Structure 1
């Protein structure tokens, strides 16, 4: 299992080792210990979601208030999507930047998205199916969205006919959300994740010294 950080801090692409033969495939699509090694703490499994989308459906850009935010671990179990991470954290050195990550049922890559980052995707195939686990349960009061077609944000979606939900179509632009004070603060996000790291370190068993 290989974990590669994106240019946006707090996001990693996970490439599992896929074992395949005439019978099919087997892979470890999640390892809490391997993820904790790079992130600093394990992902708390609070909720698991399954999303099925028709071709050209665009979902996002979604994020949650921090604290507690909502970290996600995402993989595509059927078809293909082009996932996008957007840095919506005010004060971040990469604020406003976005990055695409392809997810499909061939490479079986996964994506980790930390608290405070925006997340969305476009379905490249019919019945594109995402399975993802979240660190917090759904909280409608703290859930936020940015319009995925915001021209200033300029996400280059690979479709001429994007299909959006009413909620996403009516979502504010990045600038509007910032002006309304709806975006996460970068310093608060990093402080929150640092607290998770410290709690994990404190709970970890001490390394035993051995003498020969």
Structure 2
């Protein structure tokens, strides 16, 4: 596995070594020791989540606030998505900036999103199965997020805005300028 640094400190792209042959492929998708060595963290994941979505589905930008903040290791099992992380760490040199990466079943890349970030993705293929690990348990009372179309973030979701499928919950999330207290 190799690591690619992103412009957002701590948010890194992981590229596993994939072994292909005439039967298909094999790769190690996660090894805690290797992961912690590459990222320079001591992260222990406690929960795995998976979603299935159709083209144009946009999920995000989500986060867990305060003591329930979560780091995530995200990947695509089937299909392709644009995955986005937004830096919301108070005092960070890249506060309010985002990084986007195409994750797919072809490239098998994974994005590590540290605590202190909002996260979301949009499905670019006909369908996608999206899987991720979290280092803290979900807590409904600590849910938070930002509106995916916040003009201050200026995220290029690749697909036309009128083709995006979002939940009511995501459509009413606040813009960054309207957030009264820091999330973290």
Shorter-chain TM-score range:
over 0.9
Q: CA deviation at 1:68?
A: 4.1
The residue correspondences of 1:162-201 to structure 2 (distance < 5 A) are 162-177=164-179, 180-184=180-184
Moved over 4 A (4+): none
Q: Conserved in 1, the CA contact under 8 Å of 2:68 and 2:138? A: no
RMSD, aligned α-carbons: 1.2
SS at match of 1:141: helix
Larger Rg: 1
Q: Could you tell me the TM-score, scaled by structure 1's length?
A: 0.82
Q: CA deviation at 1:99?
A: 1.1
Q: CA deviation at 1:81?
A: 0.2
Q: Which residue of 1 aligns with 2:118?
A: 118
Q: Which residue of 2 aligns with 1:196?
A: none
Q: Conserved in 1, the CA contact under 8 Å of 2:149 and 2:155? A: yes
Runs (5+) with no aligned partner, structure 2: none
Q: CA deviation at 1:183?
A: 2.3
Runs (5+) with no aligned partner, structure 1: 185-212
Counting strand residues as a fraction of each chain, which structure ranks higher?
2
- Distance across 2 between alignment mates of 1:41 and 1:10: 9
Q: Conserved in 2, the CA contact under 8 Å of 1:76 and 1:108? A: yes
- Distance across 1 between alignment mates of 2:98 and 2:82: 12
Deviations 1:117-154 (A, max 9, x none): 11111100122111111111110111211000112211
SS at match of 1:151: coil
What is the aligned length? 182
